[in-house]
Amino acid sequence: MKVALPKYMMILAIAGLSSRSCRAFAPTLTRSYTTTIGATSSSRLFSAAAEVDEQQAPVAPKKKVRTRRILSGVQPTGSLHLGNYLGAIKQWVEFQNTGKFADAEDLDGKSFDDEKKDENVEIVNENFFCVVDLHAITVPQDPGDLEESTLASAALYIAAGIDPEKSKIFVQSHVPAHSELAWLLNCATPMNWLERMIQFKDKAKKAGTESVGVGLFTYPVLMAADILLYQADRVPVGEDQRQHLELARDIVRRFNGEYCKGNPYKKRCKKAGIPSFPAFTEPEAMIVKAGGARVMSLTDGTNKMSKSDPADGSRINVLDPPKVIRDKIKRCKTDALPGVEWDNPERPESTNLLNIYAAVQPGRTREDILEEVKDMKWGEFKPLLAEAVVAHLEPIQKRYAEVRADEEYLRGVLKEGAEAADAIASKTLKSAKVAMGFSVPH
């Protein structure tokens, strides 16, 4: 099952500033902390004959530095497909390089505007992108495939443009705080909250409740733990993760209300040597779109592209060879109506293929594309789309082969990323354990 960014997209995370400084960051948009950059001073010039005072130079105002963090991840099961790439990884690269998502809105449908200019504030982003292997095992995995899928996903992150010099890449299970906090939150979350989760109901219905593991039922709590460990105040997620974000917010209110109030809590914090802030920040959802729209199945334009679909022809995998991509697009479902058009509810496949065509050509406008293809027949448009997809994925596939071939480098990147993530996550975990009354090492 997919987290999306989830999917989690995961997407957990993303950009934003908080009004007060904090001891931890959040997955994208994170809580922020502030430091100061020094100012210049006037100087004096001396000569052998006389001392001349220069006119005092204006003192530059002290500059605040606000740090915000983004944490996001995708499941390693199967091969990452075009929907994962366009809806998650490509968005991460954009945030890494520009500090914002191309298309994101809040729960009320309003666009985010986090870049209000302030000459006295410097924004510094911390980016964490993980392979969420703990989420992958909510359905049975072949032990012989899971490790390779995990490493391949991490290599694809780098190939797609995630730069280890700018962002940290790690494997979720390499940071033990994720699973430990998930257990603490499981014990604090009412069972009936999880029974309301639509995704569990849908997946359990398809698989049969007798074959569904407990992990599938409780995985929204693990997702909440992923988010809360990094103190995110805003979390970019896919539309299908909206309900899970709302659950995370409910868990924060319940936990902070039960464990983080009153003098006893302050005394526990003082004894442990940590601030007596509430253990968790309540996150706000940032609904991030894949180039303005979701990427749908090639065999059914009303269902999203998915790794769990048994039909491989329903998706374009990022590592599919050019011939396979051309064949899948040639056979993809279309309709018998003339022309190609966007946003006709009676023609979901037309909208989906145009969305893909636009997404792999980010420099073009919808108007420009429509002018080019509006009068085409499917037999003309499909080859055009296939070549655009092949051209877009070709450099990613080439870079992937280079990264995956150098396993020492790849594992080094993951080790460095896990160490950086653990330094943040372990502090939040300690705060949660102190709040609940655990004895923690000093």
Cα separation, 127 vs 421, in Å, equals 10
Cα separation, 252 vs 28, in Å, equals 17
In the sheet that 34-37 helps form, which strands lie side by side, from edge to edge? 34-37, 63-74, 121-131, 167-171
Cα separation, 101 vs 442, in Å, equals 40
307 among known catalytic residues = yes
Closest by CA to 79, choosing from 321, 272, 394, is 321
Write down the catalytic residue from 63, 64, 203, 333. 203
Residue 117's alpha-carbon distances to 31, 121, 126, 252, in angstroms, are 18, 8, 19, 31
Sign of the Cα torsion 366, 100, 28, 258 reads negative
203 among known catalytic residues = yes
- Which residues lie closer than 8 Å to 212 by C-beta, 6 or more apart? 203, 204
Compute CA 353 distance to the chain's CA centroid, rounded to the nearest angstrom: 24
Cα separation, 129 vs 416, in Å, equals 12
- Which residues lie closer than 8 Å to 424 by C-beta, 6 or more apart? 24, 25, 69, 229, 230
Residue type, position 270, single letter: K
Residue 189 DSSP code: S
Write down the catalytic residue from 2, 90, 307, 430. 307
Write down the catalytic residue from 168, 304, 382, 430. 304
Compute CA 223 distance to the chain's CA centroid, rounded to the nearest angstrom: 12
Residue that the structure tokens 């989690």 belong to: 8
Residue 51 near residue 67, CB atoms below 8 Å:
no
Task: Label residues 267-296 b or e (16+ Cβ within 10 Å = b).
Answer: ebbeebebebbbbbbebbbbbbbbbebbbb
Residues known to be catalytic: 203, 304, 307
